[in-house]
Amino acid sequence: AAVPLSPRQLVALMPTSQNNNQKIGVTGILLHHRGNLIQVLEGERGVVSKLYRKILMDSRHKNCRIVHEQQIQERAFGSWAMGFKNLDDLPPDQLVACSNFLEKPYGYVTDLQVQKRVAFLLNVFRVNAWYGS
């Protein structure tokens, strides 16, 4: 985020995000950790690419990067137009396996480590996330 947003402010944005994503067939989750955000977007490649370009042009965002991209057989967040989880609320033992990913600068971990940690994060938050319709 270009300007730090509190978890409460991010939750307030969820209904608009969910509505917009539902219209274009995008699902996913937004994760917050110490003022940083990581977002998973699922949908048709062209639709997701267009949405990502829109995100890049939005002045509320800075330093955006694609951490991992892959074609999937089944959506991890198929029933969520956009879920949200504040990682700061999780017990430390749930963050241990991905702490380097969350704490080290981008590029510190290898592609394989990124893939494993992204998969770990997705599994943790699929189980624990707050989500709307």
How does pLDDT run across 34-68, given as a tens digit for each residue?
Answer: 777 888 899 999 999 999 999 999 998 888 888 77
Mean confidence (pLDDT) of the chain = 78
Query: What digits encode the pLDDT tens for the residues 92-117?
Result: 776 655 555 555 554 544 566 666 66
Please tell me which residue, 114 or 30, carries the higher pLDDT value: 30
Tokens 């241990």 belong to residue? 96
Q: Which two tokens stand for residue 67?
A: 């951490």
What per-residue confidence (pLDDT) applies to 57? 93
What is the end-to-end Cα distance of the chain in Å, rounded? Answer: 24
**Helix residue ranges, H only, the chain:** 7-24, 45-57, 92-95, 99-103, 111-128
Least Cα distance to 86 among 18, 28, 8 occurs for 8
DSSP code at position 97? G
Determine the distance from the C-alpha atom of residue 15 to the mean position of all C-alpha atoms in its chain, rounded to a whole number: 16
Q: What is the pLDDT of residue 112?
A: 63
Reported confidence tier of residue 85, pLDDT bands at 50, 70, 90: confident
Running DSSP on this structure, what letter comes out for residue 38?
A: E
Q: What integer is the mean pLDDT of 18-36? A: 89
